[in-house]
Amino acid sequence: MSGGLIHAMVVAEPLIGFDTAALAKNFWALTVDGLTYGSVYALVAVGYTLVYGVLRLINFAHSEVFMIGMIGQYAVLMMLGFGPSGNAYDLGIAMTVVYLVLALAGGMAISGGVAVGLERVAYRPLRKRGAQPLVFLITAIGASFVLQEFVHFVLPRLTGDTLGGVNAQQPIRLVVPETQFTLFTANVTNVSIIIIVSALVLALATDLFINKTKFGRGIRAVAQDPVTATLMGVSRERIIVLTFLIGGLLAGAAALLYTLRVPNGIIYSGGFILGIKAFCAAVLGGIGNLRGALLGGLLLGIIENYGQVLFGTEWRDVVAFGLLVLVLMVRPTGILGESLGRARA
């Protein structure tokens, strides 16, 4: 951090910088960027929260579902004829939107499919055997290894080194970040607008789906009391598949949005850190709580962004993990509490 670097005496570790001046100066810009990241976290967090609400289980492989979504939307764009070039495509607004929607659909379809497949292969057999929670977790770790290594080693062999592999994919730039307007002192780019608006729309749609539709009522019923829900004619198995599907679809959408902001984030290990942060977001808002996931995601994005300026970019992930520990210690049920199962209108 250049200029105005203050080594605060209160910080126990003098090796870490403590730059309050930069934070004050870039406050609004950091807030907007934080919201951009936060909306991506929120969408992934919904996947964790839904599965947790229904199954009382942290779907550890969800981060790999997100990662596959990134690969998926990239593959769709390649099939549409786009190649990785350093330059951006100048398509005009209408065609850009069409291609973005196609890529979104592709990413969502692949992520949703993988999430449902994962449930089928890794979780359902265990549920049938009444396995312990620990066993579920280890299976999920195994499955996420398989997915990662599939993209790492198998996919490049299948596609002739065009997809997957050790290095990140060369970005396909559909949207070039351009400042659209200034909010307070912050420049808001078109990419930020696309990400925040689409994420909010998707989150709202999910909330409506859970709260207003028949299927949503089924999900809430199973989350609240699986046995009674089954007795009332709700198929638990079908509901579980549905929750995995919704989580997967949203992760796929998040994958496209994330690659707009971080074009060179498409790599086999790219889901890991983001998945953990999304889980942090879910816990922060109250795991099992849809609106909590949204709130937690946005908050985490913002706090993390402030933190990385305060302490330095390299401490970004540490801030997120530290926040997780702090929240779990002070309020393990999160800000809004666990509530998917609690009956609401």
Partner 1 sequence: MSETPVTSPSPAPVSTKASVANRPHGGLGDAMRLWWDALPRPTQWVVGFPLVVFIALLPVLNLPVLTTVGTNFGAVMAQFGMYALIAIGLNVVVGQAGLLDLGYVGFYAVGAYTVAILTSPSSPWNQTGDGGWLSRDWAWLAALPIAVAITALSGLLLGSPTLRLRGDYLAIVTLGFGEIVRLLADNLDDVTGGGRGLSQVAYPRIGISEDNTNGVFSAGASSGTLNSGVWWYWLSIVLILGTLVFVGNLERSRVGRSWVAIREDEDAAEIMGVPTFRFKLWAFVIGASIGGASGALYAGQVQFVNPTNFNVINSVLFLCAVVLGGQGNKLGVILGAFLIVYLPNFFLGRTELFGIPINGTEIAEFRYLFFGLALTVLMVFRPQGLIPVRQKLLTYGRELYVTARRTVRKDAA
Rule CB under 8 A: say whether 318 interacts with partner 1. Answer: yes
Nearest Cα to 337, choosing from 290, 289, 300? Answer: 289
Binding mask 136-175 for partner 1 (x = CB under 8 A): -xxx-xxxxxx-xxx-xxx---------------------
Is 105 or 126 the residue whose CB approaches partner 1 more closely? 126
User: What's the closest the beta carbon of residue 174 comes to partner 1, in angstroms?
Assistant: 32
User: What's the closest the beta carbon of residue 291 comes to partner 1, in angstroms?
Assistant: 21
In angstroms, what CA-CA distances link 190 with 126, 172, 233? 45, 17, 47
Residue 265 · residue 259 · CB < 8 Å = yes
C-alpha 308: how far from chain center: 19
User: What's the closest the beta carbon of residue 235 comes to partner 1, in angstroms?
Assistant: 23
User: What's the closest the beta carbon of residue 16 comes to partner 1, in angstroms?
Assistant: 8
Rule CB under 8 A: say whether 335 interacts with partner 1. Answer: no
CB atoms within 10 A of CB 25: 15
What is the DSSP-derived secondary structure letter of residue 135? Answer: H
- Cα(219)–Cα(229) distance, integer angstroms: 9
- Cα(15)–Cα(174) distance, integer angstroms: 41
Binding mask 94-133 for partner 1 (x = CB under 8 A): ---------------------------xx--xx--xxxxx
Task: Decide: helix, strand or coil at residue 288.
Answer: coil
Rule CB under 8 A: say whether 15 interacts with partner 1. Answer: yes
Q: Which two tokens stand for residue 121?
A: 């292969």
Amino acid at 87: N
Out of 10, 12, 227, 329, point to the residue binding partner 1 (CB under 8 A): 329
Rule CB under 8 A: say whether 258 interacts with partner 1. Answer: no
Residues counted in the chain: 345
Contact residues: partner 1, CB under 8 A: 15, 57-58, 121-122, 125-126, 129-135, 137-139, 141-146, 148-150, 152-154, 272-273, 276, 279-280, 283, 312, 314-315, 317-318, 321-322, 324-325, 328-329, 332
